[in-house]
Structure formats: structure tokens, C-alpha cells
Structure 1
Amino acid sequence: MPYATASDDTRIYYETYGDGAPVLFIHGGGGNTICWYQQVPFFASKYKVIVMDLRGFKNSPCVPERNHPRHYPADVLAILEQEGIGKVNLVCQSLGAWAGLPVAVKHPERVQTLFISGSPTPAYSPETWEILRKAGKTFDDGRHDLRSKSIGWNRKNVEARPEMLHLYGCIKALNPKGFLALTMQADDVKIHPAEFEGYRVPTLMTGGSHDDFLTPESHHLVAKLLPGSRKYTFEDSGHSPYFETPDEFNRVVLEFLDAHN
């Protein structure tokens, strides 16, 4: 099993598939490498696909005091160095944006494209931080299991495919407990509007119209903060289009990648 060693000696697990321009998929708070099972075979036929476990998730164990999103960007860079990758395409789901967006802002020479789904991101505004405050309280009040039951899904999709929700819960259960959602609001992870001056990384902000977890407006709010970014809404999905409506998700990502690679 391949690992990259971060600067604090935390070992970050990742997997690679296929050949071509590299695409790193970064999961959200309910995921890990396995959650991309509907993307890996599809994209590996044309691109080099990399999936990782964020620190503190599944195969990337981490001591509690280092289990914090502030370390995610360096973890991504560690994987790029391990693989000898100069420039990468980043696909980030929800929490994954705390890894991808800072790399795009602070190391734009390393990022070919940035695709973000279902995330208010660490791009700071009063509106995005209010969304985080409400969602973080749900998780840290001990109600995190609601994501595996109801919150954030298009209810029609869940009714039609109850096995989808069951599988999501099984994948999530592979992650150790210990991540605190409130760490996503720490002052040292905020990216303030002034830091986006001169931002030029091709960026597509997306979200699901049925996302009642991090709201259907998140991607619109963040797109206003990122110069030149585009928007796309998955009309039939909730918080996790990659899982809920994978065919549409894969098509939109592929079109975006092909346009810039």
C-alpha cells in the first residue's frame, strides 16, 4: 500500500490507477478512497487517477493533536512529491476543499484545474461561515449519523435506491472517530477575499439542488469569491453528486478536465 510521509511524519495513504494527466480525488467527511468506486474505473481509462485518505480517515491514522484540516494542503503536496507530479487536477468533495483550495491559492503552479462539489470551502465570508457553523454543530453535537440517514440527500433517490444509502454508511464506518467538524472553522484555515487577488486556476464550483446539509447555495457563494470560476448545479442530487448521480457527475468532471488538459 503506497503512503506519502507528511512533514510531521504522518503517513498519508493513497492509490493510483491508469495513465495520463494526473487527477487527485479528495473525499469529504463521510468518505475515503473507497467512496470513489464509481469514478476510478471511468477516469482511469484516460487519466492517471489518484485517490487518498485524508489524515485521520481510514488508512491514514493520525494522532488527535494533528488531526486538523490545516495540515491537508501539505499532505496533498507530499503525495505530489512522492509521485513526481509537477501539476495536478484536483477534484474535491466537501471537506476535500480544505485540502484542494489552499493548494490552488498558495501553489497555483502545481494545480492544472480545481473542481469542487458540495462545499462552502475555506473561502471566508460571513455567509459561508454561517453555513459551516450550522453544519458543524450538527456533527459535533453527536448527530453525525444523520448524513447516513436523511440529511443532504435527494429523498427520491434514496427511496428508489435504499442500497445507496446503506453503502454510504458502510464506507463511512471504515473511518476512525475523532474528526471534529468545528476545526473547519479555525482561523488559520480561512482564506480571505484579498488572498484571491490574481487567482487564475481554472475552477468549477458545483453543488446539488437538494443539499439541505451544506445548502444548495454554497457553490454560488464561493464562486463569487473566486475570480474567473464557473458554476454548475446538479439538479437531481443532494450533497454528494459523485455518489448519488455518478453518471452526470462523471460527465461534468470529464468535460471540465478535457477542456484544460
Structure 2
Amino acid sequence: MPIVNLNHDVELYYEDVGMGSPVIFIHGVWMSSRFFKKQLPYFRQKYRAISLDLRGHGQSSHVQSGHTVANYARDLKHFIEKLQLRDVTLVGWSMGAFVIWEYLHQFGEENVKGTVIVDELASDFKWPDFEIGAFDLPTLTGMMRDIQTDHAGLLKGFIPLMFKEDLPQADLDWMLEETTKLPSSIASAILFDQSIVDCRPYLNGITTPTLLCFGREEKLIPVAAGEHLCREIPNAKLEVFEESCHCPFLEEPDQFNRVVDEFLKSLYK
């Protein structure tokens, strides 16, 4: 099993296929690298396609500490260094976008060729000056309590909200299997931190080319979030997927892969 050992005996599981320019896929909160199962077979034909499980998630170490977006960004830095990757493109879905922005904030853009942001807000929290945020305090508090009392029940209600169409039972089953690998203590800790991260102050300092991929269906994240990011990030382009909600890479994988591939071609030409 491919593993990278970080400091303090933390092991990150990853998949690494293909050859060429490296493209790293970073999943959302509670999720795993398995959610990119429709991307790696496509991108391995032209690129070195890599997906990893963040600490505490999937098959990575379920350590009880270090579960903040800022620390996940440091884990990503160590991961890139361990694999000696150069000129990477970072693809971040949901919380994965926060990890990318925090990485750029901490370490700069020197080793980053481009970024792909999939269906995320500049902040998930409804700050007084950010009404499009996904969570207010009562909602966030309720979710954290539900994680402690009915973790699987919460996920059974949450996962279908990520998709425009009804989810087949077989898909819901494997997604529940993946997302319940996290102990409840980790699931609630990282939910809180990623929900109150606010990346707005440094978005306008990002100069690396950025592709924004958003689903038209707004069960979780409004398209207005993508429009806001497109205004704030200087070198950004917005692509809206008409038949998707939160997971265009699973809901419209062929279209998603083509759009991202065209973006990558523009970076590496």
C-alpha cells in the first residue's frame, strides 16, 4: 500500500498513476481519495495523477491531533517534498480548496503551476458580511452534536445533498463506508475548523491560474460562491456544470475531465 510517512509517525495513503506533470487531487471533509475514482484512469494517460487521503481520513493514520486546515496544508507540503514533485497542479474539492488556499498562503506559489477549485466558498461560515456562507452557528452546532450521537445517520442525510439526482443505493453504501472510517472525534474536530476558516483576506493575492468548477444545483453551495471567487482571484475562470450539484467530477465525469484537461493543457503548453 503506497504510504508517505510524515513527522510524528503520521502516514498518508495515496494513489499515484501515470507519468508526466503532477496533478494532485485533494478531497473534502470526511471524504477520501476514493471519490476521485473517475479521474485517475483518465488523467494517468497524460499526467502523473495523484490522490491522497488527508490525515484522519480514508486509509491514512487516524491520529487524534493535527486536524486543522492549516495543518493539512503543512501535511500537503511535506507530501509534495517527500515525493519530490515539481510544478504541481492542485485540484481541491470542497474542504480541499481551503487546503490549497492555506498552502498558497503559507508557502507561496513557487512550486504550483495551477489550481482547480471544485464547489467551495471563500468561507463556509455565514459571517455578518458574508451571507452566502453555508453554515450559521446553530447549523454547525447541530451537525457537530449529531456526529457525536448519530454519525452514520448524519452522513446518510448529508451525502445525498451533494448530488443533483437521487443517489443509487450502491453508491450511497460505498460513500458511507468511506466517510464512517473517521472516528467521530476527528470528524467533529475538522468539521468545526474547516467551517470557520475564512480565506477571503488573501484570495486577491493568488496569481496562479485558477479554474473554478461549480455545480448549477445549489443544495449546498451557491453558484454565487464561484462568481465571488472569480471576481476575487485575479487569474480565475469559472465553469458551471449544469447537471451537477457538489460533485461534478462524479456527476458529469466526462465533461469535468475534459474541462480540467483543457485547463492543464493551457498550463503545460
TM-score bracket for this pair, using the shorter chain length: 0.7 to 0.9
- Matches for 1:8-87 after TM superposition, within 5 Å: 8-87=8-87
Percent sequence identity over matched residues?
A: 25
The 1-side partners of 2:145 and 2:218 are apart by 20
Change (3 A) 1:137 1:211: farther
- Find 1:191's aligned residue among 171, 192, 199: 199
**Higher deviation after alignment, 114-123 or 29-38:** 114-123
How many equivalent residue pairs?
254
Name 2:133's counterpart in structure 1. 130
Work out whether 1:230 is the aligned partner of 2:242.
no
Name 2:151's counterpart in structure 1. none
Q: Look up the equivalent residue of 1:107 and give its one-letter code.
A: G
Change (3 A) 1:205 1:239: same
- Find 1:154's aligned residue among 158, 164, 174: 164
Please give the root-mean-square deviation of Cα atoms over the aligned residues, in Å.
2.5
Name 1:179's counterpart in structure 2. 187
Name 2:112's counterpart in structure 1. 111
Is contact 2:124–2:194 with CA below 8 Å preserved after alignment?
no
CA-CA distance at 1:62 after TM superposition: 3.6
The 2-side partners of 1:35 and 1:114 are apart by 18
Q: Look up the equivalent residue of 1:131 and give its one-letter code.
A: A
Change (3 A) 1:215 1:33: same
CA-CA distance at 1:196 after TM superposition: 3.8
CA-CA distance at 1:121 after TM superposition: 4.1
The 1-side partners of 2:142 and 2:242 are apart by 25
CA-CA distance at 1:130 after TM superposition: 3.0
Q: Look up the equivalent residue of 2:66 and give its one-letter code.
A: R
CA-CA distance at 1:168 after TM superposition: 2.9
Change (3 A) 1:16 1:138: farther
Change (3 A) 1:192 1:131: same
CA-CA distance at 1:28 after TM superposition: 1.1
**Structure 1 unpaired stretches of 5+:** none
The 1-side partners of 2:113 and 2:199 are apart by 20
Change (3 A) 1:122 1:13: farther
Moved over 6 A (4+): none
- Find 2:210's aligned residue among 193, 197, 203: 203
**Structure 2 unpaired stretches of 5+:** 147-153
The 2-side partners of 1:117 and 1:44 are apart by 20
| Secondary structure of the corresponding residue to residue 187 of structure 2 | coil
CA-CA distance at 1:66 after TM superposition: 1.9
